[in-house]
Structure 1
Amino acid sequence: MKTFTFIIILFFGIHSFAFAENQSLENPPKTITFKIKLKSAGKVKITPSVLKFNKHFAYSFTLDDGYRSAYLTAFPLLNGGKISASNKNGWKIDQGGDGKTSKGLFYTDGFGNKIPFKLALAINGASLNNLPNRGHLSWEEVREMYNAGWDILNHSFHHATKHGTNYLTEVTDNTKSIKENLNFTMSHFVVPGGEGDEKYYLEYEKEALQNGQFSVASYYGKGPVYKVNDKVDLDKLISARTFVQSSKDTTSFKTMDNYLKKIDSIVKQKDAVWFNEFTHGTGNTNLWNLSTRFPDFKYYMKKLANKYGANGNDSVWMAPWQEVYEYIWLRDRIKVDFVQKDKEVTVTIQLPEIPKNFRNKSISLSVDTDSKFDTESKALDFTIKNDGNKNHKLIVIDLK
């Protein structure tokens, strides 16, 4: 009897372990299918879009250190809302803006729907607080921006760089603090700047990549401009970081115009690109002389929106670092097949195992056809949209 009982326990124990192991694969490999119904017969070609929504270039912009100006000025300017007027914190630094109301800055999803420009925040969990006249963001402010689609990047727990820094705990304690307070796990790291031992950033890079971070923005590395027409090597990516910063000149926007010219020269290329830049504060004061004063920031972002956004040629995908990374990662690992019979096309997409920390699981497909079309699917594990009755060039699938 004891032997029999042991066998039963062993069987169910093994079965339970296998089930638990399978459940841990939040997004296991699988295949999804749908049909395209053409209005007229003609050959169709379907390929993964180089960038989401068939955009020509992706532009990612990150605000370092979690200063409160991100919420007071940058967020309402881009997302729409009341921009803070002058707001001097306990450091006697003005992190406010012009006090005006913004309607938001947008690009479109290819179906006529406007999407606000979104940035990323590189934050230190130890700095977030609710103190009066604070210089840093609060947990609730970060939560609101995250819920609006802004990405939150790991910037170490204390922003520590000096001799004696424990690089491992700086990475992991920050991950833990954001998980405990905001209930998500960060997956991309930005090396904090400051005085430190020679090449201290190499220690941060190593600990970040060994402890759950998919990529690191550092002093040196690949990019910051990536050609993305072909497969991009994202494995343990270390990217060079460049900054947009105000000059001492407060009488003109010449400095911002020079940054805009750089953007123009990059996006004039035939190939699609992903470009990544940073700054610190976006308030009225040039914080630590490493920031973009609000008048400059507003000028810069509005110029980008008017030329490349919904009010311009709509060629920009203004999305934060993690969102673009995850799209390209998935794009390079799916396999798209299709079989056409007259006016019906059956599309099959083989999906890889997607890391459970991925926030975005979207696929854009470029459709080459002269015919109008519609899509048909009864699947419950993804949603699908198309522009088949207008431009008949785009299908977007959002995995659940």
Structure 2
Amino acid sequence: MKIPHSRIKSFLFTFVLLINSAFVCFGNDYTQTDSSKTKTISFKIKLKSNNKVTIKPAPLKFNKHFAYSFTLDDGYRSAYLTAFPLLNGGKISSPDKNEWKIDQGGDGTISKGLFYSDGFGNKIPFKLALAVNGGAIRDLPANRGHLSWSEIKEMYNAGWDILNHGFHHATKHGTNYLTEVTENTTSIKQNLDFTMSHFVVPGGEGDEKYYLEYEKEALNNGHFSVASYYGVGPVFNADSKVNLDKMITARTFVQSSKDTTSFKTMDRYLKTIDSIVKQPNTVWFNEFTHGTGNTNLWNLSMRFPDFKYYMTTLANKYGAKGNDSIWMAPWQEVYEYIWLRDRIKVDYKQNNKEIEVKIELPEIPETFRNKDISLAIDTSSKFEIESNKDLKIKDDGKTTHKQILIQLK
């Protein structure tokens, strides 16, 4: 995805303005669901003392302070060679020149993975999203620049999200925007057996405001949100309801500079994250880049040393090795959590040491991958959960007694 330098500067300027104004609720225009298709689940909480308890949906999954979503545009193979093993754990590729004579490998080391915890004693690896073009996915040659079907499937199965980026990454005059959107959806469904539900506008030379055509066709053809040149975000106040209906968001990019002797550029991006995290609000922040190999691909990417430093710093500061405040999850996963969070109705009644909890659920779209509900429980008492076998529930009632996780089928 090639973007003019003037456009990048515009992104960065807009981003600085958004940091100061991001903590705003974006209205209440929500998609309505059929009330006849709602259902109710229930369970009981057994307290060790009869202190008064409050229960409400957690702003973010696992009751985290901030969600950070990161997307790799264009489906370049460096995602599989370097980013995936670094985050998930495994052998990072050694330097590897692709068909374009560009080194999209890494440093050849073994990574133990980068993690945050779920608050229940389990470590979860950092996960990203891939914005892919079905027309570029292939198995040959061996040194191809783009991902293969099997590589994408492996990352998808590990929890990475796959986003629609157009079938051919077409932007120039004469592009059939409807076909670009729908053919890519069909291609991924046929080859990987799932339906994409979020769209990322391809960048490049095109007719004036061509991105508006992509936005329209994506939202009219089954996609819940579009990442584009301009829009809301990229920082959202997750303490309040978020207007997700036909959401169009602004992209900001993390990119390496010409400086290869230090990590000063990455430190500036990390400082921005620090300023966002220090806000009292619970927040969701979303960013992008392209390649993550040793070469700054198209000068719109992160060189692997920068990417490794950036992600490792995030993990050490906000992950399981740090204050464990981050929910490092891709765009679709966070979107789906907030969508469900804002539509459930939680009711509970306390009778001394027993609390009966009822949750009314909306009809959940078929394309959703994630259907988990985190409840924040405020109590000084230890507790246990009593429920039927059909309901999968985790709790920290014997330790920090602050959250309950309900995993819907």
Under TM normalisation by the shorter chain, which class is it?
A: over 0.9
Larger radius of gyration: 1
The one-letter code sitting in structure 1 at the alignment partner of 2:190 is E
Shift of 1:312: 0.2
Instruction: Indicate if the aligned counterparts of 1:336 and 1:348 stay in contact, CA closer than 8 A.
Output: yes
Matches of 1:41 and 1:265 in 2, distance apart?
40
Q: How does 1:20-35 map to 2 (within 5 A)?
A: 28-35=37-44
> Are 2:51 and 1:42 equivalent residues in the alignment?
yes
Shift of 1:41: 1.1
The one-letter code sitting in structure 1 at the alignment partner of 2:296 is N
Shift of 1:396: 0.2
Q: Deviations over 1:121-177 (max 9, x none)?
A: 000000000112100000000000000000000000000000000000000000000
Q: Deviations over 1:236-292 (max 9, x none)?
A: 000000000000000000000000000000010000100000000000000000000
1:315 is aligned, of 302, 305, 325, to 325
The one-letter code sitting in structure 2 at the alignment partner of 1:342 is N
Q: Classify the secondary structure of the residue corresponding to 1:271.
A: coil
2:392 is aligned, of 383, 389, 392, to 383
Q: How does 1:106-255 map to 2 (within 5 A)?
A: 106-132=115-141, 133-255=143-265
Q: Which residue in the other structure is 2:114 paired with?
A: 105
Q: Which residue in the other structure is 1:393 paired with?
A: 402
The one-letter code sitting in structure 1 at the alignment partner of 2:398 is N
> Are 2:374 and 1:367 equivalent residues in the alignment?
no
Shift of 1:197: 0.1
Instruction: Indicate if the aligned counterparts of 1:188 and 1:213 stay in contact, CA closer than 8 A.
Output: yes
1:343 is aligned, of 334, 348, 353, to 353
> Are 2:77 and 1:68 equivalent residues in the alignment?
yes
Matches of 1:227 and 1:376 in 2, distance apart?
33
The one-letter code sitting in structure 2 at the alignment partner of 1:292 is M
Q: Which residue in the other structure is 1:87 paired with?
A: 96
Q: Classify the secondary structure of the residue corresponding to 1:258.
A: helix
Q: What percentage of residue pairs aligned between the two structures are identical?
A: 78
Matches of 2:286 and 2:369 in 1, distance apart?
19
Matches of 1:172 and 1:56 in 2, distance apart?
36
Matches of 1:183 and 1:252 in 2, distance apart?
43
2:266 is aligned, of 256, 260, 276, to 256
Matches of 2:197 and 2:301 in 1, distance apart?
25
Q: Deviations over 1:172-199 (max 9, x none)?
A: 0000000000000000000000000000
Structure 1 unaligned regions, length at least 5 = 1-24
Q: Classify the secondary structure of the residue corresponding to 1:115.
A: strand
Q: 4+ residue runs of structure 1 moved beyond 4 angstroms?
A: none
**CA RMSD for the aligned pairs?**
0.9
Q: Which residue in the other structure is 1:284 paired with?
A: 294
Q: Classify the secondary structure of the residue corresponding to 1:238.
A: strand
Matches of 1:287 and 1:370 in 2, distance apart?
52
Q: Which residue in the other structure is 1:304 paired with?
A: 314
Q: Deviations over 1:295-339 (max 9, x none)?
A: 000000000000000000000000000000000000000000001
Matches of 1:304 and 1:395 in 2, distance apart?
26
Q: Classify the secondary structure of the residue corresponding to 2:298.
A: helix
Instruction: Indicate if the aligned counterparts of 1:215 and 1:237 stay in contact, CA closer than 8 A.
Output: yes
Matches of 1:68 and 1:42 in 2, distance apart?
55
Shift of 1:40: 1.1
Shift of 1:370: 1.1
**TM-score, scaled relative to structure 2:** 0.91
Matches of 2:302 and 2:79 in 1, distance apart?
11
Shift of 1:29: 1.6
Q: Classify the secondary structure of the residue corresponding to 2:373.
A: strand
Q: Which residue in the other structure is 1:327 paired with?
A: 337
Matches of 1:264 and 1:42 in 2, distance apart?
37
Instruction: Indicate if the aligned counterparts of 1:28 and 1:354 stay in contact, CA closer than 8 A.
Output: no
The one-letter code sitting in structure 2 at the alignment partner of 1:282 is T
Matches of 1:84 and 1:156 in 2, distance apart?
28
**TM-score, scaled relative to structure 1:** 0.93
Shift of 1:379: 4.2
Matches of 2:389 and 2:355 in 1, distance apart?
16
Q: Which residue in the other structure is 1:6 paired with?
A: none
Q: Which residue in the other structure is 1:19 paired with?
A: none
Q: Classify the secondary structure of the residue corresponding to 1:162.
A: coil
The one-letter code sitting in structure 1 at the alignment partner of 2:400 is N
Matches of 1:228 and 1:83 in 2, distance apart?
35
Q: Classify the secondary structure of the residue corresponding to 1:323.
A: helix
